[in-house]
Chain A
C-alpha cells in the first residue's frame, strides 16, 4: 500500500505551499494528529506564564545569589565588638620594643627620629593607621633603632565629655600600665566599625580588654574608679597640648616635632620623610628634645 511509504521515516518538513492534500485516509489521520500536536504545543507556549521562562528564572536566581552574598558580606564585614568575643590583633605590637621608662612609647629614646602619633581610639582612620601602617613603621624603623614612636592622646570624638568613650578608652589605656600597646592593639582591632559614641567602649568592655591583655586587674580597677578622673584629666591635658601644637584631626603624625598633614599617612610618603630626617641627622642620633622638636609644643609633651 502507498500508506507504508508515508509512515516509514520522517520526511523533511514542507512549507504549506509544498504540501499536497492528504490522499489516503491514513495520511489524513496523520495530518490531523500532526495539526493537533502543533496546536497543543502552541497553546502550551501561549499559556505558559512569563515567570516560568528561563530568563525570569535566571533573573530570580541571580537576585537570590546576590542577596545571599550581601547577607554573608554584611555579617562578615561588620563584626560587632562585644564583651567576651574580642578579636585578637592581627599584627600585635612587639612588647619587647616598649620603652621601659614610658609605657606609651616604643623603641630607643635616642633614635634619630621621634614619631608622635596623635590619635583617638574611636577614630576609624586611626584604626587604619594602627592596624595597617603602624606595624610596618615599627618593623622598618622602630625595630631597627631608627625611630622612637610615642602615642599621644587627642581624644576629641566624644567632644571631651568626661564619661565619653574617647576619654574613657584613653584613660583605660593609661590604667593598664605597661600593657598599653597590647591594650591599644585590642582597642583598634575591636573598634566599632559602624559608628562612634555608640557605647562600644563601655566600662565593661574596657575591663574585658584589660583582662585580655593580662593587666593587673586590681590596679586597673583602682585606676578606673570614680570615672578614672585623674587619668581623664591627663588625657584632656594632652589633648589640649595637641590643640596648641596645631593638631586638628586624627591621626596626625609629628616627625621630630613637626606636624605632618593629618590622616592615615601611608608608608610610601611617611617612610621617605623619616629617611630624610635620618639622612639629615648624618648618622648621629638626634636628641629627643631636639631644636626642631622644641619648635613645636607637640614634641615636648612626653608623659
Chain B
C-alpha cells in the first residue's frame, strides 16, 4: 500500500493538533489567555480548575499526545511497519475518549466552550477516524498480498 498520501493526511491532523496544544500550553505557562475566537469561552476554560491536572496544564499533555502520534506516523511512513499504525490507532482511541470527557466538562461543568480546545479535539477525532481507514486499507492490502 502506498503510504505517502495517508501519512500526509494523518501527519497533518497530528501536526495541527500539536500546534494548537503548543499554543495553549504557551498561554497556560505564561499565565495569559488564548486569543479570542468566535464563541469565546477560552479564558473561562483556561482559568478553570480543569485546565490543570496534577498541577500541570492539560494542554501540555496534549503536546505530548500529539507529539508521540506524529512520531508514530512518521516512523510508519518511513518503515511501513503496520504495528506502528496499530499503536497509533490505539493511542488515538484513548485520546478520543479523553477528548469526549473534556468536552463534557466544558458543556456541563464549566459551562463554557473553548474553540481552541474544540479544534484540538477535532484533530484527535478525525485523525483517529483517518487512522481507522488507513489501518483497514493496510489490512486489506496485506490480506490480498
- Give the B-binding residues of A (Cβ under 8 A): 54-55, 58-59, 61-63, 65-67, 69-70, 73-74, 76-78, 124-125, 127-128, 132-133, 136, 193-195, 263-264, 266-268
Contacts of A74 in B (CB 8 A): 101
Return A251 CB to nearest CB of chain B, in Å.
11
Name B52's closest neighbour in chain A (CB-CB): A77
Assuming A78-B49, A124-B47, A266-B32, is B101 touching A73 (CB within 8 A)?
yes
Question: Contact between A62 and B91 (Cβ–Cβ < 8 Å)?
Answer: yes
Name A264's contact: one of B47, B97, B139 (CB within 8 Å). Answer: B47
Question: Contact between A67 and B97 (Cβ–Cβ < 8 Å)?
Answer: yes
Question: Contact between B90 and A58 (Cβ–Cβ < 8 Å)?
Answer: yes
Name A125's closest neighbour in chain B (CB-CB): B47
> How far apart are the CA atoms of A250 and B21 in the complex, in Å?
28
B79-107: which have CB < 8 Å to A?
Answer: 86, 89-98, 101, 105
* Selected A-B contacts with CB under 8 Å, 6 pairs: A55-B135, A59-B90, A63-B93, A70-B101, A77-B49, A268-B30
- In terms of DSSP, what is the predominant structure of the interface of chain B? helix
B31 adjacent to chain A (CB < 8 Å):
yes
- Number of A-B residue pairs at CB separation under 8 A: 75
What total of chain B residues lie within 8 Å of the partner, measured CB to CB? 28
Return A188 CB to nearest CB of chain B, in Å.
11
> How far apart are the CA atoms of A266 and B89 in the complex, in Å?
39
Contacts of A67 in B (CB 8 A): 97
> How far apart are the CA atoms of A107 and B90 in the complex, in Å?
54
Contacts of A54 in B (CB 8 A): 86
Question: Contact between B31 and A266 (Cβ–Cβ < 8 Å)?
Answer: yes
